[in-house]
Amino acid sequence: MTVALHRMDYRERTTQHVAPSVGLSHVSLELGHLYMEDLMAREGESRLADYFVSVSPWVKTIESMGRWGTNTPRISTCFLIDDYFSRLDEPAVIIKKVLDAAAKSGLSIDYIARESSCAEFGETRLAQRVFDQIVPEPLPGANGNRPTVKESGWLANGRRSPDTASAPAMGADAWESPKQTAANRHSVFMDVQIRDDLWSCSFLASVWQLLRLGLLRPDEKQLTKPVKLDGDYPRDWSELPPVIKLTDTRNPFCAYRSFSILPTRFMEVEMAARTVLHQVRVDPLILEDLDSRALPERIELPPNILDRIDYAFINDWTPASSH
* C-beta atoms surrounding 257 within 10 Å: 24
Percent of the chain with pLDDT over 90: 60
Give residue 109's pLDDT.
98
Asked if residue 121 belongs to a domain, the reply is: yes
Give the pLDDT confidence of 118-127 residue by residue, as tens digits. Answer: 999 999 999 9
Give yes or no for residue 102 having a pLDDT over 90: yes
Backbone φ and ψ of 213, nearest 5°: -85, 5
Higher-pLDDT residue of 109 and 72 is 109
What is the C-alpha to C-alpha distance for residues 36 and 81, in angstroms, rounded to an integer? 8
As a whole number of Å, the end-to-end CA separation of the chain is 87
List, as one string, the DSSP characters of 164-226. Answer: -TTS-TT-TTS----EETT-BSB----EEE-BSSSB-HHHHHHHHHHHHTT----S-GGGTS-
Average the pLDDT over 40-57 and give the result: 80
Higher-pLDDT residue of 321 and 175 is 175
The candidate with the shortest Cα–Cα distance to 120, out of 233, 246, 220, is 220
Per-range mean pLDDT, top range of 60-64, 68-72, 303-307: 303-307
Give the pLDDT confidence of 184-237 residue by residue, as tens digits. Answer: 666 677 889 999 999 999 999 999 999 999 999 999 999 999 999 988 999 999
What is the C-alpha to C-alpha distance for residues 307 and 60, in angstroms, rounded to an integer? 22
- Pairing mode, strands 179-180 and 158-159: antiparallel
Asked if residue 282 belongs to a domain, the reply is: yes
Give residue 190's pLDDT.
82
Give residue 322's pLDDT.
42
Give yes or no for residue 63 having a pLDDT over 70: yes
Domain region containing 277: 25-131+195-314
Give residue 9's pLDDT.
45
Asked if residue 179 belongs to a domain, the reply is: no
Give residue 84's pLDDT.
93
Percent of the chain with pLDDT over 70: 79
SS3 (DSSP) at 103: helix
The contacts of residue 67 (CB under 8 Å, 6+ apart) are none
The candidate with the shortest Cα–Cα distance to 33, out of 120, 131, 129, 111, is 111
Give the pLDDT confidence of 239-270 residue by residue, as tens digits. Answer: 999 999 999 999 999 999 999 999 998 999 99
Asked if residue 294 belongs to a domain, the reply is: yes
Give the pLDDT confidence of 157-181 residue by residue, as tens digits. Answer: 767 766 655 555 555 566 676 766 6
Give residue 72's pLDDT.
84
Give yes or no for residue 319 having a pLDDT over 90: no
Give residue 187's pLDDT.
65
Give residue 87's pLDDT.
80
What is the C-alpha to C-alpha distance for residues 297 and 27, in angstroms, rounded to an integer? 13
* Mean of per-residue pLDDT scores for the chain: 85
Residue pair 241/223 in contact by the 8 Å Cβ criterion: no
Radius of gyration (C-alpha) of the chain in whole angstroms: 23
Q: How confident is the model at residue 34 (pLDDT cuts 50, 70, 90)?
A: confident
Total number of domains constituting the chain? 1
Q: How confident is the model at residue 8 (pLDDT cuts 50, 70, 90)?
A: very low
Average the pLDDT over 54-67 and give the result: 87
3-state helix, strand, coil in the chain (%, to 5): 30, 20, 50
What is the C-alpha to C-alpha distance for residues 123 and 125, in angstroms, rounded to an integer? 6
Asked if residue 210 belongs to a domain, the reply is: yes
Give yes or no for residue 3 having a pLDDT over 80: no
Asked if residue 29 belongs to a domain, the reply is: yes
Asked if residue 74 belongs to a domain, the reply is: yes
Asked if residue 171 belongs to a domain, the reply is: no
Higher-pLDDT residue of 198 and 86 is 198
204 CB-contact burial (10 Å; exposed 0-12 / middle 13-18 / buried 19+): buried
